[in-house]
Structure 1
Amino acid sequence: MTTTTNTRRILIVGGGTAGWLTAAYLAKALRLAERRQLEITVLESPDIGAIGVGEGSFPTIRATLQFLGIDEAQFLRETTATFKQGIRFVDWAEAPAGGRRHQFLHPFEAPFYSDELNLVPYWLRQDAAARRPFAEALTVQARAAEAGRAPKRGPAPAYGGPMNYAYHFDAARLAKLLAAYARGLGVDHVEATLNQVALDEAGAIAHVDTLQRGRFTADLYVDCTGFHAELIKHMAGAGLKSVREHLFVDRALACKVPADEDPDAPLPSVTIATAHEAGWTWDIGLDGARGVGCVYSSDHIDDARAEQLLRDYLGPAHADAPTRRIPFPTGYRKRQWVKNCVAVGLSAGFLEPLESTGIVLIEAAVGMIAEMLPYGGAIEAPARRFNELMTTRFENIVNFLKLHYCLSRRPEPFWRDNAAPDSIPLRLAELLEQWRLRPPGRFDFVLDTETFAFFNYQYILYGMGFATELRAGGDEFPQGREADKLFAKVARFAERARADLPDHRQLIRRIRAAGAA
Structure 2
Amino acid sequence: MEGKRSILIVGGGTAGWLTAAYLAKFLDVANRPDLSITLVESTDIGIVGVGEGAFPTIRTTLQFLDIDERDFIRATGATFKQGIRFDDWVRTPAPGEHDHFFHPFEAPLYTPDASMVSLWLAEDEATRPPFAEAVTIQHRVAEERRGPKRAEEDGFAAPLNYAYHFDARALARLLADRARQLGVAHVEDRLLGARLNESGGIECLDFERLGTMTADLFIDCTGLAAELIGNAIREPLVSVRRYLFTDRALACRVPRGDPDAPLPSYTIAAAHEAGWIWDIGLRDMRGIGLVYSSDHVGEERARDVLGGYIGQPELAADARLIAFDPGYRRRQWVGNCVAVGMAAGFLEPLESTGIVLIEAAAAMIAELLPPSGPVDASADRFNALMTARFDNIVNFLKLHYCLSERAEPFWRDNVDPASIPDALREMLDRWRSRPPSRFDFTLDVETFAYFNYQYILYGMGFRTDPPGGGMPDTRRAASAFARIRHFGDQAVDDLPSHRELIRQINES
Interval of TM-score (by shorter of Structure 1 and Structure 2): over 0.9
Q: How does 1:208-357 map to 2 (within 5 A)?
A: 208-234=205-231, 238-260=235-257, 262-316=258-312, 319=315, 322-357=318-353
Q: How does 1:8-157 map to 2 (within 5 A)?
A: 8-52=5-49, 55-157=52-154
Q: Which amino acid aligns with 1:64?
A: T
Is residue 413 from structure 1 mapped to residue 409 from structure 2 by the alignment? yes
Q: Which amino acid aligns with 1:308?
A: D
RMSD value, Cα: 1.7
Q: 1:80 to 1:453 in 2, by over 3 A?
A: same
Is residue 497 from structure 1 mapped to residue 497 from structure 2 by the alignment? no
424-433 vs 7-16, which moves further: 7-16
Contact 2:241 2:327 survives alignment (8 Å): yes
Is residue 165 from structure 1 mapped to residue 162 from structure 2 by the alignment? yes
Q: Secondary structure at the match of 1:392?
A: helix
Q: Structure 1: which 5+ runs fail to align? A: none
1:458 aligned residue:
454
Q: 1:474 to 1:5 in 2, by over 3 A?
A: farther
Q: Secondary structure at the match of 1:89?
A: strand
Give a deviation string over 1:465-498, Cα, whole Å, max 9, x none: 11112363128x7x65444322221111000000
Cα deviation for residue 212 of structure 1 reads 1.3
Q: How does 1:441-480 map to 2 (within 5 A)?
A: 441-470=437-466, 472-474=468-470, 480=474
Q: Structure 2: which 5+ runs fail to align? A: none
Q: Secondary structure at the match of 1:474?
A: coil
Give a deviation string over 1:330-387, Cα, whole Å, max 9, x none: 0001200000000000000001111000000000000000001000123444100000
Contact 2:194 2:232 survives alignment (8 Å): no
Q: Secondary structure at the match of 1:105?
A: strand
Q: What CA distance in whole angstroms lies between the structure 2 residues aligned with 1:6 and 1:111?
A: 52
Report percent identity of matched pairs: 61
Q: Which amino acid aligns with 2:173?
A: K
Q: What CA distance in whole angstroms lies between the structure 1 residues aligned with 2:316 and 2:438?
A: 48
Question: Number of paired residues?
Answer: 508
Q: 1:147 to 1:339 in 2, by over 3 A?
A: same
Q: What CA distance in whole angstroms lies between the structure 1 residues aligned with 2:196 and 2:326?
A: 27
Q: Secondary structure at the match of 1:283?
A: strand
Q: What CA distance in whole angstroms lies between the structure 2 residues aligned with 1:443 and 1:381?
A: 31
Q: What CA distance in whole angstroms lies between the structure 2 residues aligned with 1:277 and 1:373?
A: 46
Q: What CA distance in whole angstroms lies between the structure 1 residues aligned with 2:330 and 2:316?
A: 41
Cα deviation for residue 71 of structure 1 reads 0.5
Q: What CA distance in whole angstroms lies between the structure 1 residues aligned with 2:61 and 2:164?
A: 13
Q: Secondary structure at the match of 1:430?
A: helix
Q: Secondary structure at the match of 1:256?
A: strand
Q: What CA distance in whole angstroms lies between the structure 1 residues aligned with 2:178 and 2:275?
A: 37
Give a deviation string over 1:408-453, Cα, whole Å, max 9, x none: 0000000000000000000000011111111111111111110001
99-108 vs 231-240, which moves further: 231-240
411-420 vs 483-492, which moves further: 483-492
Q: Which amino acid aligns with 1:69?
A: D
Structure 1-normalised TM-score?
0.95
Cα deviation for residue 293 of structure 1 reads 0.4
Q: What CA distance in whole angstroms lies between the structure 2 residues aligned with 1:141 and 1:263?
A: 25
1:508 aligned residue:
502
Q: What CA distance in whole angstroms lies between the structure 1 residues aligned with 2:269 and 2:477?
A: 32
